[in-house]
Amino acid sequence: MSINSLLEELNDSQRAAASMPAQHALVLAGAGCGKTKTIVARAAWLISNSTPADRIQILAFTRRAANEIVERVRLQLGDRANGLRASTFHTWCTSLRLRAPAVFGYRGFSCIDREDQNQLFKLFRGKATAEQLPPANELCDFYSFARNTIQTLEATLEKDAPKWVKHLEVIGKVMLSYEKRKRDRKYLDYDDVLDVVAQRISTSPEACAWVGSLYDHVLVDEVQDTNPLQWKLLTPLQNDVNLFCVGDDAQSIFGFRGADFWSVHSFSEHVSPSITLKLEQNYRSTQEILDVSNWLISQSPLNYDKTLVGIRGAGRLPQLHTFANDWEEARWIAEDLLVRRQEGALWREHMILVRTAYAARKIEAALLAKEIPYVLIGGVALFATAHVRDVLSVLRIVANPQDELAWMRFLKLWPGVGEKTVTRLTEELMEFELLDDCIRRLVKEPKFPPGVVEVIEVVKNLQQNVAMAFAAAVRGMQDILAKEYHLNWDKRLRDFPLVEKLAEGHGSISAFLEQYVLDPVFETEVIYKPEVDKVTLITVHSAKGTEREVCYAVNVSPGAYPLTRVVGNQEEVEEERRVLYVALTRAKDELIVTRQGYRLWAYENQTPPDGSGEAEAEESYFLNGVPDHLFEHQVHQSDKPPIAPLTGKDYEPPPMGIVISSPPRIPTS
């Protein structure tokens, strides 16, 4: 297709954005106003106007979004799109680091994921009680938040976990140990992956000039979700490349990762000179869907200055269904899907949006029961499942005998080997550089089954063929794994061929591992082919940027939107509101909102239970006061008596007024 016919498909503002002269620009656009279309058109226009495709770098937030943009440009331009790259910030930084090790250093470092990070923190946290130190996963959160927002640990704790400020010193010590161990073991965590590059280009004009010389244009999708660490990457490049950023402040839902839509509101101050364009016409949804979405955002104390104006006109009124419990909610959705299917709709026109991966399980069960084909996106990635990690640990050991975390995981699997033995043994193994020395040491270990060493050796001999090495590892470990995971072994066993397939064609174990640490793949995605007709079951966070004809927003109940635990924290409550906003604005033709709860009855009958967190959850519920005419209401009576409601017992308002002590700054590695 020619570029002219592409431009003709755009409206005036989209066309202006796509075809403007080279300069820094922010394109502000509401949901469904054609953000992706504009970024695709921009890339296509640049290439058609003699920018080589490989001088354009597109940055997106997920691998899926990145791939989609490139595919759509390719659809327009065919082979002329060759060389166009779209990546996540993380894969982009990794490719820069690998491309020029001399510029960035960190040769031979490997990337660890969240789980590994957690294990390390657990190690340094030790046996401290819940009063002395937060749990390892919270330490991870604090650490990562400080890195992503480029704040001190103290500032992070003050904002996020005031009750821990008085333990600042101990927590700081744990984090310093963590950083030292990372360096010693040549690990990079997710934040390091970005910071290695950011640090270098913000302090070395030569490094910055080199990166800048690679590109003419950097196109950033979903810019409202960029955090200060990511801006640390973009800011120094301003002098050498043109930044074309597309975003929507009302869809900023990654605050927990340090995203701050200041980057949108103050764009012209930190990127200058620059222009700001707006896309205000919504092409996606019928007016009734926009009315509900606009109403929701208008209830916010924040001013988004945003009213979506639709061009599609009227359609069907959104539905609001109330169920007695989650089980009936899930069952009804499955039944409704069956009805639609019988009426001739395709499965793939439907998307079910859940707030948490956990909530997706109940829906999954209902879909399975009715044999409705679905893809689940946003749950636990294939490589994050325990049994796959277990097998991968041997590959990691072979690829890098200094991989302490892999050794610990691998050794602990064997009968008679527990935490103490593993800690002692791994410490010893870290003294050796070579795998063969490690093996010699292991052979000497009394009461070790011979399988331990056998597996390592088999994998070692097959390491040039990653898929075969993986298959061999599975064979060698099958017995112990079957015992470990006997409860649902059959289901887990099916994952191994999928991983084996993904391993095919990778030149080395480390290349294979590196790719999937940064680009998580979900079980269903391996089986899924785009042309296959399936319902999409997805978390709202993963669904950003997507759309479907019919969308179900699930469990829009008090206590869930917003989550009970964030009530009282205005910033977080407003982020929750944006999450719901994102969910509602995915729908093109029909929006079906479902909610559960006996608790709702209590609320609507004006008899909230006294003094509990539940009452507060109900008071702050986003659908309170929704005008009747925006929804078609339906209450589904239960055949069983209502089940006791959730309690609000874990909600405590955060203490206020924190005393400040001198902060240990978290150094960047």
Rule CB under 7 A: is residue 420 a binding residue for DNA? yes
For residue 569, the SS3 value is: coil
Rule CB under 7 A: is residue 572 a binding residue for DNA? yes
For residue 26, the SS3 value is: strand
Half-sphere exposure of 94 (CA within 13 A, CB side): 22
Q: Quick one: three-class SS letters along 620-647?
A: CCCCCCCCHHHCEEEECCCCCCCCCCCC
Q: Which residue among 190, 383, 410, 603 contacts DNA (CB under 7 A)?
A: 190
Closest approach of DNA to the CB of residue 561, in Å = 11
Mark the segment that binds DNA (CB under 7 A) among 205-213, 380-388, 429-437, 591-599: 380-388
**Closest CB to DNA among residues 274, 596:** 596
Q: Which of 564, 525, 527, 560 is CA-nearest to residue 542?
A: 525
State whether the Cα torsion 199-202-203-204 is positive or negative: positive
Residues 389-408 binding DNA (CB under 7 A) are none
Mark the segment that binds DNA (CB under 7 A) among 10-18, 36-44, 393-401, 487-495: 487-495
Rule CB under 7 A: is residue 91 a binding residue for DNA? yes
Residues 506-525 binding DNA (CB under 7 A) are 518, 520
Rule CB under 7 A: is residue 596 a binding residue for DNA? no
Rule CB under 7 A: is residue 162 a binding residue for DNA? no
Asked if 595 and 321 touch (Cβ cutoff 8 Å), the reply is yes
**Closest CB to DNA among residues 24, 355:** 355
Mark the segment that binds DNA (CB under 7 A) among 198-206, 317-325, 356-364, 526-534: 356-364
Query: Rounded to an integer, what distance in angstroms lies between the CA atom of residue 15 and that of residue 646?
Result: 51
**Closest CB to DNA among residues 11, 569:** 569
Mark the segment that binds DNA (CB under 7 A) among 214-222, 327-335, 351-359, 397-405: 351-359
Helices 435-443 + 451-461 axis angle, to 10 = 160
In the shown chain, the binding pattern of residues 546 to 565 toward DNA, with x for contact by CB under 7 A and - for none, equals -----------------x-x
**Closest CB to DNA among residues 12, 650:** 650
Closest approach of DNA to the CB of residue 633, in Å = 27
**Closest CB to DNA among residues 237, 360:** 360
How crowded is residue 468: how many other Cβ atoms within 10 Å of its Cβ? 17
Task: Find how far residue 158's CA is from the centre of its chain.
Answer: 25
How far the first Cα of the chain sits from its last, in Å, is 48
Closest approach of DNA to the CB of residue 320, in Å = 23
Closest approach of DNA to the CB of residue 19, in Å = 30
**Closest CB to DNA among residues 135, 642:** 135
Burial of 441 (0-12, 13-18, 19+ CB in 10 A): middle
**How big is the site for DNA, counted in residues (CB under 7 A)?**
50
State whether the Cα torsion 104-106-108-110 is positive or negative: negative
Rule CB under 7 A: is residue 256 a binding residue for DNA? yes
Q: Which residue among 10, 43, 73, 253 contacts DNA (CB under 7 A)?
A: 253
Residues 624-653 binding DNA (CB under 7 A) are 650
Asked if 334 and 372 touch (Cβ cutoff 8 Å), the reply is yes
Residues 22-51 binding DNA (CB under 7 A) are none
Rule CB under 7 A: is residue 357 a binding residue for DNA? yes
Burial of 566 (0-12, 13-18, 19+ CB in 10 A): middle
Q: Which residue among 257, 350, 396, 599 contacts DNA (CB under 7 A)?
A: 257
Residue 248 is encoded by which pair of tokens?
Answer: 């929507």
- The DSSP symbol for 173 reads H
Asked if 261 and 249 touch (Cβ cutoff 8 Å), the reply is yes
Pairing of strands 535-539, 350-354: parallel
Rule CB under 7 A: is residue 97 a binding residue for DNA? no
The single residue listed with the structure tokens 């490997």 is 110
Asked if 273 and 24 touch (Cβ cutoff 8 Å), the reply is yes
Q: Which residues lie near DNA (CB under 7 A)?
A: 61-63, 88-91, 114, 122, 130, 135-136, 144, 190, 253-254, 256-257, 355-358, 378, 380-381, 385-386, 415-422, 485, 487-488, 491, 518, 520, 539, 541-542, 563, 565-566, 572, 579, 650
